[in-house]
Chain A
Amino acid sequence: MNQKGIIISARMSRFWQYLLAFILVTATTAIFFLLRSALDTTLIALLYLIPLGVITALWGLGPGITGALLTFLTFNYFFIEPYYTFMVHRPADVVVLVVFLIVAVVISQLVAQAQAGLAAATAREREATQLYEISTALTGLHDDHSIAQILAKQVYAVSQGEYVELSITGTEPFVFHLPEISPPTRASELIIPIQAPRGVLGEIRLWRAASAIMPSEKRLFQTFASQAALALERAWFAQAESRAQILEESDRLKSAILSSVSHELRTPLSTIKAAASSLRGKEVNWDSPARAELVAAIDDEADHLNILVGNLLDMSRIESGALQPKREWNILSEIVGSVLARMKHLAEAHQIEMDVPESLPLVPVDYVQIEQVFTNLVSNGLKYAPVNTIVCIQAQVEGESIHVQVSNQGPQVPPEHLERIFDKFYRITAADRVTGTGLGLSICKGIIEAHGGRIWAENLPNGLAFNFTLPLTWDGAKSLQLPMDTESE
Chain B
Amino acid sequence: MSNAPHILVIDDEPQILRALRTILTEKGFKVTTASRGEEGLTFAAASEPDLIILDLGLPDMNGVEVCTRLREWTQNPIIILSVRDSERDKVAALDQGADDYLTKPFGIEELLARVRVALRHSVHASEAQNKIVKAGPLAIDLVWHIVKRGDEEIKLTGTEYKLLAYLASNHGRVLTHQSILTHVWGPADADHTEYLRVYMRQLRKKLEADPERPQYILTEPGIGYRFIADE
Contacts and interface: CB of A to CB of B under 8 A. Distances in A.
Given A336-B212, A337-B213, A368 B221 contact: yes
Contact of A485 (B158, B192, B211): B158
A489 B158 CA distance: 6
A329 B194 contact: yes
**How big is the A interface, by class?**
35 or more
Interface string A332-357: 01101110110000000000001000
Contact of B197 (A302, A362, A366, A368): A362
A291 B212 CA distance: 36
A488 B155 contact: yes
A486 B199 CA distance: 13
B222 A488 contact: no
Given A326-B88, A326-B222, A354-B212, A334 B197 contact: yes
B213 A479 contact: no
Interface string B204-231: 0000000111100001011000000000
A362 to B, nearest CB: 5
B60 interface: no
Given A336-B212, A489-B155, A489-B156, A480 B194 contact: yes
Nearest to A299: B107
A482 interface: yes
Contact of B222 (A310, A317, A366, A489): A366
A266 B221 CA distance: 30
A366 B200 CA distance: 18
Instruction: Sort A-B residue pairs by CB-CB distance and give the 7 closest, nearest first.
Output: A337-B212, A329-B194, A368-B222, A328-B193, A341-B213, A488-B157, A368-B221
A487 interface: yes
A26 interface: no
Interface string B161-202: 100000000000000010000000100000011110111110
21 contacts: A299-B107, A310-B84, A313-B85, A326-B87, A329-B194, A329-B197, A334-B219, A337-B213, A340-B213, A341-B212, A341-B213, A362-B197, A367-B221, A368-B85, A368-B221, A482-B194, A483-B195, A485-B199, A486-B157, A488-B157, A488-B158
Nearest to A331: B197
B150 interface: no
A132 to B, nearest CB: 60
Nearest to B219: A338
B198 to A, nearest CB: 5
B40 to A, nearest CB: 26
Contacts of B211: 337
Interface of B: 84-85, 87-88, 105, 107, 145, 155-161, 177, 185, 192-195, 197-201, 211-214, 219, 221-222
Contacts of B212: 333-334, 336-337, 340-341, 354
A368 B87 CA distance: 9
Contacts of B87: 326, 368
Nearest to A317: B85
A479 B158 contact: no
A306 interface: yes
A401 to B, nearest CB: 18
A264 interface: no
A479 B194 contact: yes
Nearest to B201: A331
Interface in A448-489: 479-480, 482-483, 485-489
A489 B201 contact: no
A280 B154 CA distance: 54
B162 to A, nearest CB: 10
Nearest to B191: A328
A250 to B, nearest CB: 24
B111 to A, nearest CB: 14
B221 A371 contact: yes
A249 interface: no
A368 B84 CA distance: 10
Nearest to B185: A483
A278 B212 CA distance: 42
B88 A489 contact: no
A485 B157 contact: yes
Contact of A334 (B84, B161, B201): B201
A196 B55 CA distance: 58
Nearest to A481: B194
Given A334-B212, A354-B212, A367-B221, A485 B194 contact: no
Contacts of A480: 192, 194
A482 B200 CA distance: 13
Nearest to A344: B213
Given A299-B107, A366-B222, A489-B158, 4 more contacts: A310-B85, A368-B85, A482-B198, A487-B158
B201 A485 contact: no
A290 to B, nearest CB: 21
B105 A306 contact: yes
Contacts of B219: 334, 338, 367
Nearest to A356: B212
Contacts of A338: 219, 221
A489 B193 CA distance: 24
A191 to B, nearest CB: 54
A340 B88 CA distance: 25
Nearest to A479: B194
**Most chain A beta-carbon contacts within 10 A, residue among B156, B194, B214:** B194
A466 to B, nearest CB: 21
Given A328-B193, A329-B194, A336-B212, A485 B159 contact: yes
A432 interface: no
A358 B194 contact: no
